Structure 1
Amino acid sequence: MTSKPAASAGAHGGSAGGAEAVGVLTAAALGSWGLSALCAAGAGVTALSVASSLVIPAVAVKSVLRRTERITSADRVTLVRVALVGVLTAALVLTSMDELAARTWTVLIAALMATVLDAVDGWVARHVGTSTEAGARFDAEADAAALLVLSALLAMTVGWWVLLIGLMRYLFLAVSLIRPVWQRPSTFSRFRKAVAGFQATALVVGLAPVVPVVLATGLAAAALGALLLSFGRDVFALEREARTDGPAPGETQGQAG
């Protein structure tokens, strides 16, 4: 008797996830197509921009569809943000092919909306009571993808060193494969949260056409410095915890492997 409602909920969650999947992929494709049309890009460039806009949303959709629980309201907000990141990816392709200026109002609006929605999905999760571990992981991955694309867009103006902002989390995860103690969950940090908000804001402000390049460069440099400090604090805390508590089960084996 108790297993049937659970199965029904899982099925309902899957169907809802399927509907959201179609929505986010369609939104990303239409948004990137519209951006390409606005640039009067050729058919080949348009096809490339649309295809690129679907990469990150497709990964997000796969993550949602693999869940057993129902998709939440906060997840839906995150999916809208993912669709916007897809459009920003298309903008990156168009910019790299000289079809779109490095900083435009259209790109800025999309970037601003994606950044604002990052705060909205967390608010929804807390106030509607739909906060889940899977949703938190999904939100974190969406954050990382957005930062990577935003930093790549700004790199077109201030230099490729800005990519370090978007790559930092992925570099951390890569090192954690050979240093398993870095895989331990970090305690909540207001400083880390503040840095996350500052770096996103700095990237978006830097993309504004009216912001002088020197100011955009300074903001990006400050964001990168704060991010390096934040990661340094986390690594120091994790290493200190490992020395104090000793290796957790599986960490020694992972290091040996």
Structure 2
Amino acid sequence: MTALLQALETSVLRRHPGMELLGGGLLVLLLAAPFAVATGADQRYLAVVLVLYALLATLVWQTWPGAQEAARSGGEWRHWCGLSWLSLGPANRVTLVRALLMILVLSALPFPVWAAQQAWALAGLSLLALSLDGLDGWVARRTGSVSAYGARFDMEVDAAFIMGLALLLVVLERAGIWVLALGLMRYAFVLAGWRWCWLNQSLPPSFRRQFVCVWQVATLLACMPPWLPAWASVSALAVALVLLTVSFLTDVIWLYRQQGQSESP
């Protein structure tokens, strides 16, 4: 029985989402091609889509649990025969679909003229991606597939989406370069964790954090089409930045206090 449990544990550790990532590449092409044709996109748009998806797939592949073990195996035939190629799980599949929609939107960055013409279509895709936010967590709880990796995958997709939307607003000249702070703050927090280790402590689940994230994305995509006057867009984005700053400061203060409690005798 012990040997069987060890074998099952090893099998789980060796799972890799290879086939599903290949399927994701096919799906993003099936989504991007008709969108590009319908909106008159440059042919290079599809190339950008593929490059961004290749980057996403590489990051998922390299960070997947058990990836280091797979690398240490040296590509042995017996090891690769033991891999389970369908292993993302239902919740991570939802997150992957959301990431595909994000890629369709962010691939417009190199084409500002076309992006300005198709701002409503890009906002619609962003809204669809936003509507899926939270669904992956619900699916994870319903299917018993909650994992630390899934939570991190969801968070990084959110962070990349916010950064990309902020960049898109700058490219479309809907906002000044200051709006990039909405996306950069998360990465500044991660970099600060390299210097101050206490910032790397786990944070408890927070409705406030979820609300601010959704508010950011909703504000960014609302400011994408040219339907709001400049003062309204700037005001809405400024409010989003203030909320984000307060949220980060709240978490930093909590983490600092936790450090003090752990160091006290």
TM-score bin (small chain): 0.7 to 0.9
Partner of 1:159: 176
Q: Which residue among 202, 205, 226 is the counterpart of 2:219?
A: 202
Structure 2 residue runs of 5 or longer lacking an equivalent are: 68-83
Partner of 2:48: 49
Q: For each residue in 1:43-91, what CA deviation from the matched residue of structure 2 results, as whole angstroms up to 9, or x when unmatched?
A: 4x33653344325532453256555793221100000011111111211
8 Å Cα contact 1:52-1:90 kept in structure 2: no
**Compared CA separation, residues 243 and 66, structure 1 to 2 (3 A):** closer
Q: What is the CA–CA distance in structure 1 between the aligned matches of 2:177 and 2:98, rounded to whole Å?
A: 24
Per the normalisation by structure 1, the TM-score is 0.82
Partner of 2:151: 136
| Paired residue secondary structure (1:99) | helix
Aligned length: 241
Q: What is the CA–CA distance in structure 2 between the aligned matches of 1:79 and 1:192, rounded to whole Å?
A: 21
8 Å Cα contact 2:123-2:225 kept in structure 1: yes
Partner of 1:61: 60
**Compared CA separation, residues 211 and 183, structure 1 to 2 (3 A):** same
- Shift in Å, 1:180: 1.0
* Percent identity of paired positions between Structure 1 and Structure 2: 29
Partner of 2:237: 220
**Compared CA separation, residues 53 and 30, structure 1 to 2 (3 A):** farther
Q: Which residue among 198, 209, 212 is the counterpart of 1:192?
A: 209
8 Å Cα contact 1:88-1:110 kept in structure 2: yes
**Alignment partner of 1:182 is 2:181:** no
Q: Which residue among 116, 119, 125 is the counterpart of 1:110?
A: 125
RMSD (Å) for aligned C-alpha atoms: 2.6
**Alignment partner of 1:91 is 2:108:** yes
In the alignment, residue 21 of structure 2 is paired with which amino acid?
A: A
Per the normalisation by structure 2, the TM-score is 0.79
**Compared CA separation, residues 65 and 244, structure 1 to 2 (3 A):** closer
- Shift in Å, 1:190: 2.7
Q: What is the CA–CA distance in structure 1 between the aligned matches of 2:141 and 2:35, rounded to whole Å?
A: 34
**Alignment partner of 1:5 is 2:8:** yes
In the alignment, residue 167 of structure 2 is paired with which amino acid?
A: A
**Alignment partner of 1:243 is 2:246:** no
- Shift in Å, 1:221: 1.1
